[in-house]
Structure 1
């Protein structure tokens, strides 16, 4: 796992979903129920940007067809048959990091 620092300007503790764009990866980030959650930037159903969605409890709601996804495990609501990626986060010395899986080539030549 490769840990990438999330720049501080993305870390406003509001319920607004932010699109984080890093050289390594783009993803959504939200402060939800007193913790940070990082997840896929697009809904797997029709590709809508989840940045324009909203949170209801422990779920993010897609703005296009209202598909719902659990912010703990990424599973879609019953009957949807889809999911979003939830990225691991860790905080060290007041710096927030997102964990990204390294591909095989990065591990060999990195």
Structure 2
């Protein structure tokens, strides 16, 4: 698997979230509770973009703004059923957020 650099950490900390293009897809990068999370920017329910999702501190989850499906930040697992977000592993290197791509 290959790692690819994305946004500068300082920008993500300042903006809290950003969308990063990845081929034909987009990755939603989140800075929350001193951690970085990366998901494909689409809900598995109906493919709605998650860039305006709502974070829930109590559940440590994010909710799709279309139908409020909630997903765990760490795993991407849906709290309502067996669906899950596509999650990318992240690391910090050279003041950037890197995501691990499948394959390679």
Indicate whether the TM-score tops 0.5. Answer: yes
After superposition, the Cα gap between the structure-2 partners of 1:15 and 1:94, relative to the gap in structure 1 and judged at 3 Å, is closer
- What is the match of residue 74 of structure 1? 76
Contact 1:10 1:20 in 2 (8 A): no
Higher RCO structure, 1 or 2 (CA under 8 Å, sep 6+):
2
Aligned counterparts of 1:91 and 1:100: Cα–Cα separation in 2: 15
- TM-score for both structures, normalised by structure 1: 0.80
Other structure's SS at 1:52 match: coil
Higher strand share: 2
Larger Rg: 1
After superposition, the Cα gap between the structure-2 partners of 1:62 and 1:37, relative to the gap in structure 1 and judged at 3 Å, is same
Contact 2:25 2:40 in 1 (8 A): no
| Number of residue equivalences | 102
After superposition, the Cα gap between the structure-2 partners of 1:92 and 1:8, relative to the gap in structure 1 and judged at 3 Å, is closer
After superposition, the Cα gap between the structure-2 partners of 1:10 and 1:44, relative to the gap in structure 1 and judged at 3 Å, is farther
Gaps of 5+ in 1: none
Higher helix share: 1
- TM-score for both structures, normalised by structure 2: 0.84
Note if 1:17 corresponds to 2:30: no
Aligned counterparts of 1:80 and 1:16: Cα–Cα separation in 2: 28
TM-superposed deviation, 1:95:
2.4
TM-superposed deviation, 1:17:
3.3
Gaps of 5+ in 2: none
Contact 1:89 1:98 in 2 (8 A): yes
